[in-house]
Amino acid sequence: MQTLPFLSFLLSHMFSADCYDWSSLKLMRSHVPYVFSHHPHLKQLCAGDEECPYKEYSDVGKACWGFEPDCKRHFGNEFPTLDCPSERSKTRYWRQGDFGYVEDRLNEMKSRQLCEPMHQQKASLRCTKDSTMCRARNLYVDLRKANERIRSREKLVLEKGEIGGFCNLKENALTTETKVKRDLSAWGEQLAPYVGLDFDPFENPEKHCDVTMDKPVIFVQLDFGGNLYHHFCDFFNLYLTQLANNSWFGTNVQIVRWDMTFRYGELFGSSWKAFTDYDHVSMREYQGKRLCIPDATFAFLPRMAFGLFYSTPLEERCRGTGLFRAFTEHFLYRMGIVDEFNVPTSLPSSSPPRIKVTFLDRGASDRYKVFRRALNQDELIAAMEEIPDFDVQVIENRG
């Protein structure tokens, strides 16, 4: 698979070094073969480095997640989808909630180069259908009039010419792919003002760039950070973005919120260390400045239409998804969370396991009114405890 442009400088710099810091991969060992398959130069480096802790994978054949072309030995084989009523239903389920979803988005992106690099130039813009995820190289963003662009809820909307690149813009294609303008669903509103610049800011950064980013940037729009379900829509889609970016899970990236808020309130802030070594920042951090970003990604968003996992339509009766299993394993490993009781977690091939049900009691608070409490909570819990296959526990939220 071709290395993505936004990684080319980073990878060539890392792998030309005499001594690579293997600990920076921070990968669960069973996931290493999949990353090695996407980065054969890294695999080759490991084979020749006596200090590489993953040498047993340096001579393993190609492994794939499941969305790559000609994929046979893939991650999903270990965690198969079960109980679908038909093969057709199973295929639909795979495209709705498994690695097939990634495959479809990557296929969309192949045919949607919205701004093509000029001869010997590097700027470009490529997106999925409806701009649910985009990759940009040598991106220019002008925030000198950012105060005038702030709308309700600290929303930042640029005007034409305040974002762009020195490339050949396909205006009709850009217009088509930015028609959807919904917060948390697409990047249409943010990228509709994108233009093909008549100058290359990267040729004379002293003149055109107030800030030149020295690491890849991932732009995000974040859902409500005070709720586990909503905020993990953010984290899951960030993982999905990394998969689509050639399965590169490096943490030397700057995550930038596309808003002008002073702060983002969240209850799960420690989870960011699974994705980045740095604090995420708002665009307000760069207010009044011109940004030059060699490598930029506009991440998959938490509330995409038919996206993952806020608005996911799924085939009935199917269960099991390698994609969500991969995210779970990756996230828990990065967070240092281990199963002290060594409880098997893989799906069985025959009878289903006992189902663990955790009921969140919203509790009460002296500081604010608690909404959406279950008025018949005791009745619900009693009914669930009567089901033989359920293990039920109640946890009270005392926030």
Domain boundaries, the chain: 5-79, 102-298, 354-396
pLDDT at 346: 46
**Model pLDDT for residues 141-181, shown as the tens digit of each residue:** 999 998 887 776 688 989 999 999 999 999 999 999 999 99
Cis previous bond, 202, omega within 30: no
Lowest mean pLDDT among 8-17, 47-56, 318-327, 366-375: 8-17
- In 143-251 the beta strands, taken as DSSP E runs, fall at 150-151, 155-156, 163-165, 167-169, 194-196, 211-212, 217-220
Mean pLDDT of 38-49: 93
Cα gap 135→278, rounded to integer Å: 21
pLDDT at 154: 82
Cα gap 366→355, rounded to integer Å: 34
Residue 18, pLDDT above cutoff 80: no
**Model pLDDT for residues 254-303, shown as the tens digit of each residue:** 999 999 998 899 989 999 999 999 999 999 999 999 999 999 999 999 99
Q: Nearest to residue 108, comparing CAs of 127, 135, 136?
A: 127
Q: Nearest to residue 301, comparing CAs of 181, 146, 194, 201?
A: 181
Residue 92, pLDDT above cutoff 60: yes
Average pLDDT, the chain: 88
- Is the pLDDT higher at 317 or at 136? 136
pLDDT at 368: 67
Lowest mean pLDDT among 93-97, 160-164, 363-367: 363-367
Mean pLDDT of 354-374: 79
**Model pLDDT for residues 100-147, shown as the tens digit of each residue:** 999 999 999 999 999 999 877 789 999 999 999 999 999 999 999 988
Lowest mean pLDDT among 18-27, 43-52, 242-251: 18-27
Are the CB atoms for 125 and 136 separated by under 8 Å? yes
**Given pLDDT bands bounded at 50, 70 and 90, which one contains residue 6?**
very low
Where b means 16+ CB within 10 Å and e means fewer, 322-350 reads bbbbbbebbbebbeeeeeeeeeeeebeee
pLDDT at 393: 93
SS3 category, 306: coil
pLDDT at 70: 79
Measured between alpha carbons, how far is residue 63 from residues 253, 292, 346, 384 in Å?
26, 36, 19, 41
pLDDT at 235: 98
